């Protein structure tokens, strides 16, 4: 993850962007925990809601891989097709972990 390039796209320096990503991780992981709980309960409405939140935040930050994956989960949940995105839900957690590794590197 190139903090300088992504920060430049938002008019931020690298340190400012890194701080925003850290905040994104805090809120994103909280939303992910709620998404995962809803997913385990089969609550497609809540999965869609949480995925939408993650999707929007990631999109605003320019974190395209999280944005696209959350969008896919949101769409599937809106169509009550949770089984089709079970692997995506796990991949989303892995992406958060990868981003955290970059922030703390």
Sequential pLDDT tens for the chain (105 residues): 788 888 888 889 988 999 999 999 999 999 999 999 999 999 999 999 999 999 999 999 999 999 999 999 999 999 999 999 999 999 999 999 999 998 887
For the chain, the straight-line distance linking the first and the last C-alpha, in angstroms and rounded, comes to: 11
CA atoms of 81 and 94, how far apart (whole Å)? 21
pTM: 0.91
Buried b (16+ CB within 10 A) or exposed e, 49-83: bbbbbbbebbeebebeebbebbbbbbbbbeeeebe
| Per-domain boundaries in the chain | 3-103
Do residues 71 and 55 lie in contact, with contact meaning Cβ atoms separated by under 8 Å?
yes
CA atoms of 21 and 66, how far apart (whole Å)? 12
CATH number assigned to the domain covering 3-103: 1.20.120.160
């Amino acid at each position: 993850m190139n903090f300088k390039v992504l920060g430049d796209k938002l008019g931020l320096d690298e340190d400012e962007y890194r701080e925003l990503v850290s905040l994104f991780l805090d809120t994103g992981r909280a939303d992910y925990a709620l998404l995962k709980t809803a997913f385990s309960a089969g609550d497609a409405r809540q999965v869609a809601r949480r995925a939408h939140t993650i999707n929007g935040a990631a999109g605003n930050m320019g974190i395209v891989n999280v944005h696209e994956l959350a969008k896919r989960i949101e769409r599937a949940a809106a169509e009550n097709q949770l089984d089709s995105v079970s692997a995506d839900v796990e991949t989303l957690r892995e992406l958060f972990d990868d981003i955290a590794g970059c922030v703390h590197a």
